A = this chain, B = another copy of it.
Amino acid sequence: MYRTHTCGELRINDVDKEVTLSGWIQAVRKLGGMTFITLRDRYGLTQLVFDENASAELKNKLEELGREYVIKVNGKVIERSSKNPKMPTGEIEIVVSDVEILNKSDIPPFTIENETDGGDELRMKYRYLDLRRNPVRENLELRHRMGQEIRKFLDDEKFMEIETPYLIKSTPEGARDFIVPSRMNQGEFYALPQSPQTFKQLLMVSGFDRYFQIVKCFRDEDLRADRQPEFTQIDCEMSFVDQEDVINTFEKLAKYLFYEIKGVSFNDDFPRISYDDAMKYYGSDKPDLRFGMKFTEITDIAQGKGFKVFDSVEYIGGIVAENCADYSRKQLDQLTAFVQKPQVGAKGLVYVKYNADGTFKSSVDKFFTPEDLKTWADSMNAKEGDLLLILAGKREDTLNALNELRLEMGNTLGLRDKDSFAPCWVVDFPLLEWDEEEQRYFAKHHPFTSPKTEDIELFETDPGKMRANAYDFVINGVEIGGGSIRIFNADLQQKMFRALGISEEEANEKFGFLLSAFKYGAPPHGGIAFGFDRWCSVFGGSSSIRDYIAFPKNNAGRDVMIDSPSEIDEKQLNELSLKVIKK
């Protein structure tokens, strides 16, 4: 037997027990003739003592031990003279009577501590050692806990978890598929699913009523920061529901998770904000509502005063940084530099200090009187002591830049606490999006998303104005999930395809089996999919999903630990009738 207890288990009540523990050596400390070893396993740390009177044999063994050695010890639990209140086992220690080395360890390439000296690259190559560190293990514990609670909730709500296939069919729509050559069907290929979308809709046609799955999905995209070629979705679909039903069901899930995992209660409904308002007030369809600092447009009142930069633009607007009127030259210069970064893209920043004494000081004092500036301040609900930060330019670009500026100010002012949570629903998304290049509409969500009933007549007159029964779930400025009520009526689907410029023939080719399934009594249905990796990272207070994935890939899609992808045997390719073309 390797252990009677884990390393996180023993307490003062266990004093005098003879115990056996196994684990890794976290640290060895010598103090006079005594040696102290901190023994570690998943469950915690326990202090071992080898006292001066230990046998020569034991002392010899002790000399062999090193960091990360795996040992098994027998010993007696005693009360510690100097207790450690920070350790759950800190009131006791084990006087070791016998030690067995289960396995030796080379010196690890970085320290196995909460704060390690290993860089990203090294930790990824030795991910199995990085995973020994508490913060990393705790991330995966959070993920496990969330997975369990999500399943429990959805099971209680009568959702059935149904596994859909991984070897499916490539559809040349949306993102790029990963493909899998078939050996038994030479020249043919499977594709890995980007999502189980069509299968979950088929399951609704099958009458399963409530489906979910926590499932890997795959997208062969050029990886931006914090994207992974394989990622995990909480995929859900319901029948005989409208948008209100779906939102209510999953708001209940979110509240359940907030409470069970984070101990946070939300008594009120989560705020809902229309897509239009989200863009208008936050320049983003995933607003961070942990803080205010809404945009105010002042185009009307700021134009026509002879300031050319303003007079020629489509949009002028800004935010109010509370109690920041005393910002220094340097601070303002830094903000200007920030908005001028290519990824923010503003030409410049106009500031107005609404000083504590009621006076104004701005970067545009030459063009505007204090009275002018007062009207801006009033319109923006600023008060004495506040700083107005104003951008101008093309509407869309400026809203984008203001969004970045707002988030930056939120960071600077400490308004984006990772332990505070502001969930919201973004609703009333546009159904269609005009593509300038291809001169046609694309589906904003996907071609099966239903339009609002009251907007259906716009198909004929102004399709771009149609709103969809689509909704996103956002926490702290991060899109956690999104979904829609689907079209289940053949006529409406035809209208949608027509608006997208898709012929009946093309539709059949691309979505044939789904359309054919819809002929046999499809129920009204809709659903949502959550990014599980991302939800974990937001709950964990990290901005990187990688921290919540046991074996993530890097930005080049490589797993540097196992060195994958890699070349394969010519024989394997031959069996698949494939040849690599060297370029």
* A residues adjacent to B (C-beta < 8 A): 1-3, 6, 22, 24, 40-43, 68-70, 102-106, 108, 126-129, 131-132, 137, 140-141, 143-144, 147-148, 151-152, 155, 160-170, 172, 176-192, 198-199, 202-203, 205-210, 216, 218, 220, 222-223, 229-230, 232, 240-242, 488-489, 513, 517, 519-524, 549-551, 553, 556-559, 561-569, 572, 575-583
Contact = CB atoms under 8 A, between A and B. Distances in A.
B209 A70 contact: no
A208 B521 contact: no
Name the residue in A207, A218, A583 with the highest tally of chain B Cβ atoms < 10 Å from its Cβ.
Answer: A207
B240 A3 contact: yes
Contacts of A127: 202
A103 B522 contact: yes
B218 A166 contact: yes
Copies in the complex: 2
B161 A519 contact: no
Nearest to A241: B2
Which 10 pairs of residues, A with B, have the shortest CB-CB distance? A105-B521, A131-B206, A2-B240, A188-B565, A169-B564, A182-B565, A42-B209, A68-B521, A128-B202, A144-B160
A221 to B, nearest CB: 9
Contact of A549 (B40, B163, B489, B553): B163
Contact of A208 (B137, B203, B561): B137
Given A241-B2, A565-B190, A128 B557 contact: no
Contacts of A22: 240, 523
Contacts of A241: 2
A104 to B, nearest CB: 7
Given A22-B240, A178-B180, A184-B557, A580 B580 contact: no
A41 B208 CA distance: 8
A575 B177 CA distance: 11
A488 B69 CA distance: 13
Contacts of A166: 166, 192, 216, 218, 230
Contacts of A523: 22, 24, 70, 102-103
Given A564-B167, A564-B169, A577-B583, A184 B131 contact: no
A208 B564 CA distance: 24
A550 B162 contact: yes
A123 to B, nearest CB: 12
A513 B208 contact: no
A172 B569 contact: yes
19 contacts: A2-B240, A24-B207, A105-B519, A126-B520, A128-B202, A129-B520, A137-B206, A137-B208, A147-B161, A163-B550, A164-B550, A167-B559, A169-B563, A172-B572, A176-B183, A178-B180, A178-B190, A179-B568, A579-B580
B128 A206 contact: yes
A222 B184 contact: yes
Given A102-B523, A182-B557, A240-B2, A232 B563 contact: no
A222 B170 CA distance: 23
Contacts of A581: 577-579
B553 A206 contact: no
A188 B567 contact: yes
Nearest to A155: B148
A160 B3 CA distance: 20
Contact of A165 (B167, B208, B524, B553): B553
A106 B519 CA distance: 6
Contacts of A186: 580, 583
A176 to B, nearest CB: 7
A256 B513 CA distance: 40
A166 to B, nearest CB: 5
A568 B172 CA distance: 9
Contact of A207 (B132, B188, B232, B553): B132
A488 B103 contact: yes
